[in-house]
A and B are shown apart, each in its own frame.
Chain A
Amino acid sequence: MTKSLSVAAIRVLHAVARGTAHGFDIIDATGLPGGTVYPALSRLERDGLVVSTWEAPEIARADGRPSRRYYRATRLGVGTLNDVLARLHSLKPVHARTWAKARS
């Protein structure tokens, strides 16, 4: 599965795979605007890279707050993420001199 992912989606998926579980936390963890994070989450979920579940009501109630929607990465999601990261990792930084040479 190598569906193309935007940088924002990669960062959201990365945050979810590392255990950041709910919307506002993901916003804070990635530093992305909320208007980017939520559509990215919906898209990742539609593509099967993350799944969401509702927090058990008794836990939330014990904590005195409403249940949250928790996201977690699927196996496909983690595989895709690692695949993308590995490919990104293989790219070497470009030095200014190399860039200037390529341009000329």
Chain B
Amino acid sequence: MGEGPIVIPRLLSWIRWLVPGPDRAEWVREWLAEFECAERDRRHAGVPSSTAWKIRRAWAAGRHALWLRGHSLDLGTLGQDVHHGLRVLRHRPGFTLAAVTTLAIGVAGTTVIFSTVRAVLWRPLPYPNPDRLVMLSLIDATSPKPAETNSVSPPNFVDWRQRATAFTAIAAIRDDGYALTGESVAEQITGDAVTGDFFRVMGVPAAVGRALGPPDAASGAPEVVVLSDGLWRRRYGGDPAVVGRRITLDGISREVVGVMPRDFDFPLSSDVWTPLRFTVEDLTTQRGAEYLTVVGRIAASATETKAAAEMASIGQQLAESYPKTNGKTTVAVVPLRRAIVGDVQPALRVLLSAVGLVFLVACVNVASLVMGAGMTRGRDLAVRTALGATRGRVVRGLFVENVILAAIGGACGTAIAAVGVKAVAGAETVGIPLLDGTRIDQAVVAFTIAATTFAAVVFGVLPAVAASRPDGARELSGSGFRTTAGRGASRARDFLVMGEIAMAVALLIGAGLLSRSLISLTAVPLGLDVDHVQTGSISLPDSSYRDPNRRALFVEDVLARLAARGDVDHAAAVFGLPLSPFSYHYSLFDLDGAKPGDRSVELRVVTPGFFATIGTPVVGGRDFAASDRRGSTPVVLVNRSAWRLLWPATEALGHRITLSTRLGLGGDRAGGQVVGVVGDVHDAGPSVAPRPTVYLSQQQFPVDFLTLVVKPRGVRADLAGAIRTAVASADPNVPVYANRTLADVGRRVVAAPRFYVQLVGLFALVAILLAAVGVYGVMAQNVGVRTREIGIRLALGASPGMAVGLMLRQAGALAGLGLAAGFGLAAAGRQMIAGILFGVQPVDGVTYGAVGGATLLVALLASWLPARRAARVDPVATLRAN
């Protein structure tokens, strides 16, 4: 039989699965026989069959099988099922509305959170080969939980760049702000000074003109700038002719050489990029001055592990060469996305799990509703079976109903999600990076369809199968006489409702823990009084304020103008506004004339009266005074934490301290004699302990970037306007930006935790409501089904209270089991939520207790109405009716 029988039977045995069951045996027999006979005939005739012939015939077998499969689907009756399903749903508007609403809520919530998580954690960054982009930082090797995204000093950056081989390029970024002046209104914009290789690292060319390159960063090169798409459209109307024009940033005229594409957004929200150049002094004396962000692109020949190993070894070499600054440090190589997204990852995981639970609760609730409906439709189904419908046909009919429900619910849910996604994308204040990229894209739509299909299939098929198994004889025997509920379906429904309660309990516990955490956060005394304090930031252009005296005079002038107003109580200025994301960290250079060891502090520069303005007490010595001017003895203030760190055994007053920063005149190091001690301020937010801080006087060490803080005399003064007026009348070329109240600044610090509480709280509320509806449904069902049993009990002398007790006991048992399962579920998820809690343990007795009590209460309330109905059963009427 040649090769035919070897290949063909195997082929046919694969294809046969396409053939519908009833036709399969005959199909195989016919095709095998035809092949074998043809093979035999051809051999007899001396023309053995070619492979091409066999393929053509096997192809024919496949076409035949597909035709049979296609014609076995009875689309006619499917149409009937759809029609019937729609009619059934229309005739039960209450049930349909409940099911569709529930599903819509589940689908909408899941879609919104899924698209958020996708935007923040999963969608690739919009740069070529984004997985090769990393952030490099110098971290404290001795810290048990080192931060992964610390800043880097220029000498360290240059050494890394020279020694590393595992990278295509490494670039440094200095976060900057510029006053854009000269054309229309002066405007403060954000910008970054970047080294020549920055755009090569990112791998993105300019959309118009060119990006910056190494020649731009050479010393003596012309002053140039690249614009972001946003600034280009907002300020220059998207005119390509802007390339070649000159704009003025901080008083320096720069030629615009290019505009970046719209989705190029790195560092986040940058308006312009300028060349970053290092002076000889930067590279020789500033190893401790950590202010650069360093990014790199790993070469195609290397891996992240190899790059990390290489950087660790370079870090080791530098630690040996410069033990003072690099001694206890190592180099971390962190994927760029993780560096950008930072610590929101655990929070988003919690949100995703929470919304997943809501979705499951919604599905279970619909399944329970459908089963309940199926139980009351027993007679309808029994009639259909008695009239000759097969069980498969009945299941299909019920399944089609559920698919219709799922489709409508899914469509409504997607519509709600579209609104929700827009809201999330616009929620900048929450402080989650990349959130603005949240949108409904193909992957999200695919996810929504998958979720809806899941709901329809898993929770549509099960109830359909359960409901299609009515006891036909009993249903048709006249009255549907029964004393207790049908066991199978009602047990399954009890089980579903228990599951719902369990998931709702887990969500409530999550919401409770997050609320307690938020309460702990907001209860932390911050060490300052944010009420009514208005702030506004200024950045003095280098071109006109290079002279420190001018800076000091300007600030004095503005503060004097503000203080002269009748509605201003206090006015001051600070470099490093508390509660804003700001860190200016310096190691000590000298402590009382001795080597200070390896200790470092936060540095702030303030004007006299700053502490009175923000309500922080001076606890020892004195505040800065107007007499602490340039030329007089340099003085500093320290906070309590710095006092404890530096002079744990003695008074702080009178000690001398010098920091390694060169804020002083002519590049001198800054510092002075301690003349006062102030209270601690949680300047990095309530979850971070107050940092040891040294305060310098703005008149002695004038800086060019400051935030004005003003406390009103009354409560209702327009201080934002007052700040603008005062600055503009001192110098119209200095813009005021970030004009907001200190309370607003403080709110941003807890915006993310508040957002999580609100979302998880909303999910938990929805879940417990759905669970309550589920409990109500089950209990109402039970009362309906057990009316006769209750009637008999009442007739035999039981009290109505006993009937209520009977029903409530059942509800209590359901809720108790659900509660236990929910506690288990919540305890299992404790690891996940622990990362975003503050001041509360993940297994917290108070929260568990409160949730337990609330759940039992809700369950009993939900079953109260049905139980009351049970108590009002009239035994005579019930018995007569049957």
A binds B: yes
Q: Per-residue 0/1 for A8-32: is the Cβ within 8 Å of any B Cβ (1 yes, 0 no)? A: 0000000000000011100100000
CB pair A42 B37 closer than 8 Å: no
Task: Give the interface size bracket for B toward A.
Answer: 20 to 34
The answer to whether the Cβ of A68 comes within 8 Å of any Cβ in the partner chain is yes
Docked-complex contact B30 and A65, CB < 8 angstroms: no
- B247, CB-defined interface residue at 8 Å: no
Residues A65 and B60 in contact in the complex (CB < 8 Å), given A23-B30, A42-B67: no
Whether B36 contacts A66 by the Cβ 8 Å rule is: yes
Bound complex: CA A20 to CA B594 (Å): 114
8 Å CB interface, A17-73 against B = 22-24, 27, 33-39, 42-43, 46, 64-69
Chain B nearest CB from A71 CB (Å) reads 10
Contact status A66-B33, CB under 8 Å: yes
CB <8 Å contact, A37 and B33: no
A57 vs B163: C-alpha distance in the bound complex, in angstroms?
A: 86
Which of the residues A35, A42, A46 comes within 8 Å of B60, measured between beta carbons? Answer: A35
In the complex, whether B161 has a CB less than 8 A from a CB of chain A is no
Give chain A's interface secondary structure class.
helix
**Sorted from nearest, which 7 A-B pairs have the closest CB atoms?**
A34-B60, A35-B63, A38-B64, A39-B67, A66-B33, A35-B60, A69-B30
The main secondary structure of chain B at its interface with chain A is helix
Which residues of chain A are within 8 angstroms of B748 by Cβ–Cβ distance? none
- Give B517 Cβ to nearest chain A Cβ, in Å: 67
Task: Give chain A residues whose Cβ lies under 8 Å from the Cβ of B67.
Answer: 38-39, 42
User: Is B278 at the interface (CB under 8 A from chain A)?
Assistant: no
Find the A residue at minimum CB distance from B70.
Answer: A39
**How many inter-chain contacts with C-beta < 8 Å in the A-B complex?**
59
Q: Does B319 contact A (CB under 8 A)?
A: no
CB–CB B33/A68 < 8 A: yes
Set A33, A35, A39, A66: member contacting B37, Cβ < 8 A = A66
* Cα distance, A90 to B38, chains bound together (Å): 39
- Whether a CB of chain A sits under 8 angstroms from the CB of B844 is no
**Size of interface on A: residues with Cβ below 8 Å to B:** 20
B474 at the interface (CB under 8 A from A): no
In the complex, are the beta carbons of B64 and A65 less than 8 A apart?
Answer: no
A34 pairs with B37, CB closer than 8 A: no
The answer on a CB contact under 8 Å between A38 and B33 is: no
The reply to whether B63 and A68 form a contact with Cβ atoms under 8 Å apart is no
Q: Is the CB of A24 within 8 A of B38?
A: yes
Question: Once the chains bind, are A35 and B64 in contact (CB under 8 Å)?
Answer: yes
Taking CB as reference atom, which chain A residue is nearest B68? A42
Q: What residues on B are CB-neighbors of A33 within 8 Å?
A: 56, 60
When chains A and B are docked, how far (Å) is the Cα of A32 from the Cα of B380?
Answer: 51
Q: How far is the CA of A36 from the CA of B33 in the complex (A)?
A: 19
Q: Taking the complex as formed, is B263 at the interface, i.e. its CB lies under 8 A from any CB of chain A?
A: no
Sample of 14 A–B contacts (CB below 8 Å): A24-B34, A27-B60, A34-B59, A34-B64, A36-B63, A38-B63, A38-B64, A39-B63, A39-B67, A42-B64, A43-B71, A65-B33, A69-B30, A69-B33
Binding site for B on A (CB under 8 A): 22-24, 27, 33-39, 42-43, 46, 64-69
Q: Closest approach, in angstroms, between the C-beta of A54 and any C-beta of chain B?
A: 8
> Residue B63 contacts which of A22, A23, A27, A34 (CB distance < 8 angstroms)?
A34
Whether a CB of chain A sits under 8 angstroms from the CB of B32 is yes
Which B9-48 residues have a C-beta within 8 angstroms of A? 26, 29-30, 32-34, 36-38, 40
Tell me, in angstroms, the Cα distance from A2 to B61 when the chains sit together.
Answer: 29
Q: How far is the CA of A65 from the CA of B36 in the complex (A)?
A: 7
The residue of chain B having its C-beta at the shortest distance from the C-beta of A35 within the complex is B63
Interface: B57 (CB within 8 A): yes
- Extra pairs beyond A22-B37, A34-B63 (7, CB < 8 Å): A33-B56, A35-B59, A35-B63, A38-B63, A43-B71, A46-B71, A68-B30
Residues from chain B with a CB closer than 8 A to the CB of A66 are 29, 32-33, 36-37
Q: Assess whether B36 is in contact with A39, with CB atoms less than 8 Å apart.
A: no
CA distance A35 to B443 in the complex (A): 38
Please report the C-alpha to C-alpha distance between residue A36 and residue B61 in the assembled complex, in whole angstroms: 10
Q: Nearest Cβ in chain B — how far from A39, in angstroms? A: 4
- In this complex, what residue of B is CB-closest to A68? B33
B57 touches A34 (CB 8 A): yes
For B36, what are the chain A residues with a Cβ–Cβ distance below 8 Å?
Answer: 65-66
Within 8 A of A (CB), among B643-694: none
Chain A residue with Cβ nearest B38:
A24
* Bound Cα distance from A43 to B70, whole angstroms: 12
Query: Which residues of A have CB within 8 Å of B56?
Result: 33-34
Identify which of B33, B63, B71 contacts A67 (C-beta below 8 A): B33
Tell me, rounded to whole Å, the shortest Cβ–Cβ distance linking A64 to chain B: 8
- Give the shortest distance, in Å, between B578 (CB) and chain A (any CB): 79
A71 to B26, CA, bound (A): 14
A22–B62 Cα distance when bound, in Å, is 18
Residue pair A65, B63 in contact (C-beta under 8 Å): no
Specify which of A33, A34, A37 lies most central, judged by the most chain B CB atoms within 10 Å of its CB: A34
Interface centre among A22, A23, A37, A65 (most CB of B within 10 A): A23
Q: Which residues of A contact B32 (CB under 8 A)?
A: 66
Return chain B residues, CB-CB under 8 Å to A65.
33, 36-37, 40
Interface positions of B from 328 to 381, Cβ below 8 Å from A: none
Interface residues of B in 84-132 (CB under 8 A from A): none
Which of A39, A43, A68 lies in contact with B34, CB distance below 8 A?
Answer: A68
The closest CB in chain A to the CB of B35 belongs to A24
Question: Nearest residue in A to B58 (C-beta to C-beta)?
Answer: A34
If the complex has contacts A38-B67, A39-B67, A65-B40, are A22 and B60 also in contact, measured as CB distance less than 8 A? no
- With A and B bound together, what is the CA distance between A67 and B31 in angstroms? 11
Contact of A22 among B34, B64, B71 (CB under 8 A): B34
User: Bound complex: CA of A65 vs CA of B37, how far in Å?
Assistant: 6
Query: In the complex, what's the smallest C-beta–C-beta distance from A60 to chain B, in angstroms?
Result: 8
CB-CB < 8 A to B63: which residues of A? Answer: 34-36, 38-39
Contact call B30/A39, Cβ cutoff below 8 A = no
Closest-by-CB residue of B relative to A22 is B34
Asked whether A23 and B34 contact (CB < 8 A) given A34-B63, A35-B60, the answer is yes
Give Cα A22 to B57, complex, Å.
14
Contact with A along B439-467 (1 / 0, CB 8 A): 00000000000000000000000000000
B-side contacts of A67, CB under 8 Å = 29, 33
- Which of B37, B57, B59, B62 has a CB less than 8 Å from the CB of A68? B37
Q: CA of A37 to CA of B40 in the docked complex: distance in angstroms?
A: 22
Q: Which residue of A lies closest to B64 (CB)?
A: A38
A84 to chain B, nearest CB (A): 22
Minimum Cβ distance to chain B for residue A62 (Å) = 14
Contacts of A42 in B (CB 8 A): 64, 67-68, 71
A96 to chain B, nearest CB (A): 36
Q: With CB as the reference atom, state the residue of chain A lying closest to B31.
A: A23
Closest partner residue, chain A, to B40 (CB atom): A65
Bound CA–CA A69/B64 (angstroms): 15
With a cutoff of 8 Å between Cβ atoms, the chain B residues found around residue A68 in the complex are 30, 33-34, 37
Name A39's closest neighbour in chain B (CB-CB): B67
Structural contact, B64 and A24, CB atoms closer than 8 A? no
Complex interface: chain B residues within 8 A of A27 (CB): 60
* CB closest residue in chain B, given A65: B37
Nearest neighbor of B30 in chain A, beta-carbon distance? A69
| Residues in A neighbouring B34, C-beta threshold 8 A | 22-24, 68
- Chain B residues whose CB sits within 8 angstroms of the CB of A46 once the complex forms: 71
B26 contact set on A, CB distance < 8 A: 69
A46–B64 Cα gap in the complex (Å)?
Answer: 14
Chain B residues with Cβ below 8 Å from A36 are: 63
CA distance A34 to B38 in the complex (A): 14
The verdict on A39 contacting B64 (CB below 8 Å), with A23-B30, A24-B34 known, is yes
**B residues within 8 A CB of A39?**
63-64, 67
Looking at the assembled complex, report how far the CB atom of A4 sits from the nearest CB atom of chain B, in whole angstroms: 16
Q: Give every chain B residue within 8 A of A43 (Cβ-Cβ).
A: 71
Contacts of A37 in B (CB 8 A): 60
**Within the complex, what minimum Cβ distance (angstroms) separates B75 from chain A?**
15
Most chain A beta carbons < 10 A, residue from B33, B56, B61: B33
Instruction: Kindly provide the distance from the CB of B393 to the nearest chain A CB, expressed in whole angstroms.
Output: 21
Nearest neighbor of A64 in chain B, beta-carbon distance: B40
Q: How far does the alpha carbon of A58 sit from the alpha carbon of B760 in the complex, in Å?
A: 77
Alpha-carbon distance A34/B57, docked complex (angstroms): 6
Question: B625-651 toward A: CB 8 Å interface, digit per residue (1/0)?
Answer: 000000000000000000000000000
